[in-house]
Amino acid sequence: MVGIGYHTDAWNSSNWNFEQCLGWAKDHELKHIECGAIDGAAYIQALGYYPHISLLEDPVLWRRKLDGYGIRFSQIDAAYPLSRLDGLTIGVQYIIHTIRWAAQVGCPCVDTTDDKHKPEGMSDQEGLHILKIAYGEILKVAEAHNIIINCEPHGYFTTNPDFMGEILGFYDSPCLRLNMDTGNTFIAGQDPAAFVERFKNRISHVHIKDVSESLAKAARGELTGIAMSQCAIGDGVNAANIEQCVNLLIKNGYDGVFSLECEGNVLEKSLNWFRGILKKEI
């Protein structure tokens, strides 16, 4: 059954805590939510001014709290740039810790990605080899806990469909899949619908982001990703691509979550627009 959720990045600048984000989701009849993982303690989160969760908190207690709201995680974001050398020393452990927490909280997916730059002093194949080592270590734990590791197009390698194909082919594992991102693929100069068409059988989670006309004119083909949509989803130049991506996915039997990524002040408008799009497709 297709679902709609949102990423709590929407409230970063509003200094909300995670439970406030749950309240917004419940008030707007959403059944799914996505947030980032903090591997340790952060004062701003502990004081209640950051909408993400520390892995030091107990996942079973959080699962019970989410159950009380009638909401579940669609994905936990652990997008450390794995193509850097410190992806092997820091990123892998960060993601493994997130996998264990996700399994306990009842979250099916963990999101990952690469860096926006090619590793300094390395060839493309050397950079891809770093990614292969990292995903090999991560998948050992993901398979043990039955957690899907999603690779998100957000960086130098992952927004290139040929490189993404190599990454998804590193290992024959049902746990290695793709988190499609409509905004990142577009701002990187790709055709989001073509990206979906190529990888539609590997997509298990989707980020819905639009791109304003001004940002597209200034940065399309120069950036590999954006944190979130600054304009309301549906008001930007990527709206038609989003609708086409949704159409392709639904026709292909997609039954995962569409997670909206935009600023909180345009989240309700974005949700209403996207619900209208989804209603036409189902």
Q: Where are the domains of the chain?
A: 3-281
- At 113 the pLDDT is 98
Give the integer Cα–Cα distance in Å for 74 and 5.
7
- At 282 the pLDDT is 72
- pLDDT tens for each residue of 141-171: 999 999 999 999 999 999 999 999 999 999 9
- pLDDT tens for each residue of 85-134: 999 999 999 999 999 999 999 999 999 999 999 999 999 999 999 999 99
With b for 16 or more beta-carbon neighbours within 10 A and e for fewer, the 51-79 pattern comes to bbbbbeeebeebbeebeeeebbbbbbbbb
CA-nearest of 216, 217, 210, 215 to 239 is 210
Instruction: Map tokens 């929407």 to a residue.
Output: 10
| Orientation angle between helical segments 18-27 and 59-69, nearest 10 degrees | 20
Token pair recorded at residue 104: 């306990």
Determine what percent of the chain is predicted with pLDDT higher than 70.
100
CA distances from 22 to 10, 51, 255 (A): 12, 10, 22
Architecture label for domain 3-281:
Alpha-Beta Barrel (3.20)
Q: Rounded mean pLDDT of 58-68?
A: 98
| Coil, helix or strand at residue 87 | helix
- At 111 the pLDDT is 99
**Is the pTM above the cut of 0.75?**
yes
| Orientation angle between helical segments 92-105 and 124-145, nearest 10 degrees | 30
- At 44 the pLDDT is 97
Token pair recorded at residue 50: 């950051």
Q: Rounded mean pLDDT of 26-37?
A: 98
- pLDDT tens for each residue of 168-212: 999 999 999 999 999 999 999 999 999 999 999 999 999 999 999
AA letter at 6: Y
